[in-house]
Amino acid sequence: MDILSSECSLVASTAPMDGEDERIMENMKAQFQALQVQRGKSVQKCLEKRKEGKRWEKQEEKQEEKGIPMGRPISGQDGLQLPVSHLDSASKQSKRLFPEPNEELQDRLRQLQDENSRLRKLVNEKNFEMKHIKKKREEDQLALSDSFAVAGDAAATKIVELAKRNRELTGAVEQERMKVKQATNRIKDLEKEVGALVTLQDLLSLSSALGKEKMASMLQEPRPTQILADIPEVKILQEKLSAANFKMTEYRNQIQAVKQEMKIAQKVLSSELGEDVNIQQLLSSPGGWRGRSQQILALQNRVQELEQQLEQATQTRQRALSGQQKDSTGLERLQRIPLPRDRNIHLRNMEREKREALEELKKKLDASKARNKVLCSEVKLLKSQITTLLDKGKHDDELVDTLLKQQAQLQEALKKLSQQQLLSKEAQQNLDQRLSSEAQRHGAMVEQLRLMVAEREAKVRELEEEVRQLLLRLSMTTDNSILTRQLLAHRKTPQVTALEQL
């Protein structure tokens, strides 16, 4: 029992347990301690009784050696005749002679039986508790698996919907941003130019108000900008600002080059089309209209062709005149008369063509003016649409920010759920390990208890055998004492009769 209690205490000290397991083990310890105390008391009583029995046996042997009779004298005159029921009388006499050891042994047997029954009850209770704990663990596992599955499906569907919505919004936002970037870049350029002019004006005013010495002292003094330059974040921002300024200078140079090219193109157009000509009207007018330079080239080609024709005509006429020398003077006159008429006809045709071209140009101008009005109205509409799109872009940006925040929150929730799932898995693994260790420990305890029960049963059997041996010894000693007493009585009777006769 002491060994079992020490082993239980070692197991309880080494194995980590929960609150319920600690309570159960405390109850077990209390029960084992109570059983240990009872067993110690019973063992002490048995030892005392054995010592008393040994003392009584030694006294009996000493008295037998001295020849002193032990026990009560037998009633009756037939000394040589033995009793009929020898075993019954021996058992009755043993009970009469040793009543206390028999009762104590019976009490001890009863205590051992009670202890065995209690241990069996404890083993059954432990088995029932183990089954209850296993059922509870299975229910917890099912509940956790169901809750995690539902939460994971809902989160997945929400994430898919938000991703689709996010893609659509990002596409729309990118389209709007491409439209807005041009206006923002122009505004930034103007703002930077204004800021540069303001800084130049401030510096000029400071230089005029303060002298050269004050300016030098101000430059030598540590400014807050110089103090801030030592901060790493400010350095990073300054680097970004310098990169942005470099890009701005490049863009300005590109803009100036484009402006120069535009001026050259305008000069070329003005040289070709003339001054005070609206280019938009010309672009809006349908095709088929020729510029002034093209008209000039066409007329020059026409003049060259006519000159060639005239040369050919003069050559043919000269050939004809060389053949007809007599009528040379008349023919020359006849040939020279129609020339001015041909020129007048040609000039009249040119005037008609010019008038037709002017009418066409007037018509095109009217059409271009109408087109310009339409374009102005369209520009106004586009400006209003741009403002509305800018507002929508701002709202879309806000919506995108909110959706991104929601997405981040959902991702955090998913991380938390995954962490909780991992923790629950770890807790389940720890519970499984603890339950397995507890099951092993309880199995070891049950085996130890069974061994204890077997040992106790063996001890009970040994005690029963000892009791039987003691009973046999007592019966044998009682028989011997009875025979000796009868012999002594038989020897004394003739001496008494002889004395009486004398």
Residue range 296-323, pLDDT digits in tens = 677 778 888 888 887 887 777 777 666 6
| Percent of the residues in the chain that have a pLDDT greater than 70, as a whole number | 58
Structure tokens at 193: 């130019």
| Percent of the residues in the chain that have a pLDDT greater than 90, as a whole number | 0
- For residue 160, what pLDDT is reported? 73
- For residue 292, what pLDDT is reported? 58
Q: φ and ψ at 17, to 5 degrees?
A: -130, 165
Is 93 exposed, middle or buried, given 0-12, 13-18 or 19+ CB atoms closer than 10 A?
A: buried
Q: Are residues 339 and 314 in the same domain?
A: yes
- For the ranges 186-190, 370-374, 383-387, 409-413, which has the lowest average pLDDT? 186-190
- For residue 295, what pLDDT is reported? 67
Most confident of 72-81, 237-246, 416-425: 416-425
- For residue 167, what pLDDT is reported? 77
Structure tokens at 346: 């040609």
Using CA atoms, how far residue 310 sits from 303, 315, 317, in Å, is 10, 8, 10
Q: Are residues 317 and 345 in the same domain?
A: yes
Q: How far apart are CA 151 and CA 319, in angstroms?
A: 113
Contact 277, 270 (CB under 8 A): yes
Mean pLDDT of 8-26: 53
- For residue 142, what pLDDT is reported? 78
- For residue 55, what pLDDT is reported? 78
- For the ranges 49-58, 177-186, 374-383, which has the lowest average pLDDT? 177-186
Assigned domain for 271 exists: yes
Q: Are residues 284 and 300 in the same domain?
A: no
Q: How far apart are CA 57 and CA 98, in angstroms?
A: 12
- For the ranges 284-288, 455-459, 480-484, 491-495, which has the lowest average pLDDT? 491-495
Interior angle at CA 435, CA 432 and CA 436, nearest 5: 80
Q: What is the mean pLDDT of the chain?
A: 69
**Three-state secondary-structure class, residue 27:** helix
Q: Are residues 300 and 346 in the same domain?
A: yes
CB neighbours (10 Å) of residue 445? 20
252 pLDDT tier (thresholds 50, 70, 90): confident
Instruction: State the total domains in the chain.
Output: 2
Is 438 exposed, middle or buried, given 0-12, 13-18 or 19+ CB atoms closer than 10 A?
A: buried
- For residue 3, what pLDDT is reported? 40
User: What letter does residue 230 receive in the DSSP assignment?
Assistant: T
- For residue 207, what pLDDT is reported? 52
Is 94 exposed, middle or buried, given 0-12, 13-18 or 19+ CB atoms closer than 10 A?
A: buried
- For residue 300, what pLDDT is reported? 78
Mean pLDDT of 266-286: 65
Assigned domain for 240 exists: yes
Residue 323 lies in domain: 296-354
Assigned domain for 490 exists: no
Most confident of 164-178, 333-347, 367-381: 367-381
More confident residue, 197 or 94: 197
Q: Does pLDDT of 80 surpass 50?
A: no
Using CA atoms, how far residue 64 sits from 37, 61, 134, 197, 485, in Å, is 40, 5, 70, 143, 11
Indicate the residue among 289, 311, 333 that finishes a domain: 289
Assigned domain for 320 exists: yes
Mean pLDDT of 413-433: 85
- For residue 488, what pLDDT is reported? 65
82 pLDDT tier (thresholds 50, 70, 90): very low
Q: Are residues 317 and 343 in the same domain?
A: yes
Assigned domain for 109 exists: no
Maximum separation of any 2 CA atoms in the chain, in Å: 246
Mean pLDDT of 143-152: 61
CB neighbours (10 Å) of residue 489? 15
- For residue 222, what pLDDT is reported? 44
Assigned domain for 249 exists: yes
194 pLDDT tier (thresholds 50, 70, 90): low
Name the residue among 481, 462, 485, 483 with its Cα closest to residue 94: 481
User: What letter does residue 69 receive in the DSSP assignment?
Assistant: -
Mean pLDDT of 57-64: 72
Q: Are residues 240 and 277 in the same domain?
A: yes
- For residue 13, what pLDDT is reported? 43
* Size of the chain in residues: 502
The pTM (predicted TM-score) of the whole model is 0.23
Name the residue among 298, 348, 338 with its Cα closest to residue 314: 338
Contact 129, 24 (CB under 8 A): yes
Contact 410, 159 (CB under 8 A): yes
- For residue 134, what pLDDT is reported? 81
- For residue 262, what pLDDT is reported? 78
- For the ranges 46-50, 149-153, 223-227, 344-348, which has the lowest average pLDDT? 223-227
Indicate the residue among 338, 354, 370 that finishes a domain: 354
Assigned domain for 280 exists: yes
- The separation between the first and the last C-alpha atoms of the chain, rounded to the nearest angstrom, is 73
Q: How far apart are CA 331 and CA 317, in angstroms?
A: 9
Q: Does pLDDT of 287 surpass 70?
A: no
Indicate the residue among 272, 289, 306 that finishes a domain: 289
- For residue 6, what pLDDT is reported? 45
Q: What is the DSSP string of 311-359?
A: HHHHHHHHHHHHH--TTHHHHHHHHHSHHHHHHHHHHHHHHHHHHHHHH
Mean pLDDT of 174-192: 71
Assigned domain for 246 exists: yes
Q: How far apart are CA 224 and CA 329, in angstroms?
A: 106
